[in-house]
Amino acid sequence: MAEHIAHTFDVQLKELATKVEELGQLAVKQVSDSIQALSTCDTALAERVIAKDDLADALQREIEQKAIIIIARRQPMAVDLREIIGSLHISNDLERVSDLAENVAKQTLQMNCADRLADLLDETCGLGQRARAQLERVLGSYRHRDVNEALEVRRGDSEIDALNTSLHTKLLARMAASPQHIAICTRLLFCGRNFERIGDHATNIAESVHYILMGFELAGDPPKNRLPGVG
């Protein structure tokens, strides 16, 4: 009987992790699609990103409900409790990632397709790709329970911050040189900020993976390589 209960509990934990991975895949797809829509001025794709944010919200709520039911029925301890709390934290971060991708899509809808700046657009999308790669990598560390991979993701965040700082500087210079491009440049500023924040959420997820596997929180901020307050 005890074995049966333990088995059911394992199944519940596995289902929870599967749901988190499902939300993770959705968040990665949202980020990829938001970059694609921005890059090609694909307004139909941008609309789909915006519509799909509701799915991410619903999945996050479902994960929360499952987690609360497990906590109430099982009174888990130690590593099992960390697994559940970690799932809650990771799903919160993933839902925020979907929000940020949605905002990139909204910025895309506000841009004039005839008036896009190829070099700065490429740089913004490159920043987005880096953030997406960080997100995919940290989800791999969650799937494979790989704390070293999670720590690598955390260390990699400073590069994204540096890319955003560089983009920010170039956008300001372009606005000064070509006032007719101020509107589009401010849209790209917000997109850059959203991608930089997606990188921050990948870092948060890395810290949750570390907490699940190691049982303690990482102290201090991850290494930073940017001026305070850019974006």
Q: Tell the smallest beta-carbon distance from residue 85 to a copy of itself (Å).
A: 7
* Tokens 């049966």 sit on residue: 4
For position 71 contacting a copy of itself by CB under 8 A, the verdict is: yes
CA dihedral over 68, 134, 201, 108, signed as positive or negative: negative
Q: Tell the smallest beta-carbon distance from residue 172 to a copy of itself (Å).
A: 6
For position 182 contacting a copy of itself by CB under 8 A, the verdict is: yes
Q: CB under 8 A: which stretch of 118-126, 134-142, 143-151, 181-189 binds a copy of itself?
A: 181-189
* Tokens 């995919």 sit on residue: 136
DSSP state of 223: P
For position 228 contacting a copy of itself by CB under 8 A, the verdict is: yes
Find the farthest-apart pair of alpha carbons in the chain and give their distance in angstroms, rounded. 75
The three-point CA angle 130-135-139 to 5° equals 150
**From the centroid of its chain, how far is CA 201?**
5
**Residues that contact a copy of itself, how many (by CB under 8 A):** 33
Contact 89, 208 (CB under 8 A): yes
- Cβ nearer to a copy of itself, comparing 68 with 113: 68
For position 51 contacting a copy of itself by CB under 8 A, the verdict is: no
What residues make contact with a copy of itself under the rule CB under 8 A?
Answer: 50, 64, 68, 71-73, 75-76, 81, 85, 92, 103, 106-110, 172, 175-176, 179-180, 182-183, 186, 189-190, 193, 227-231
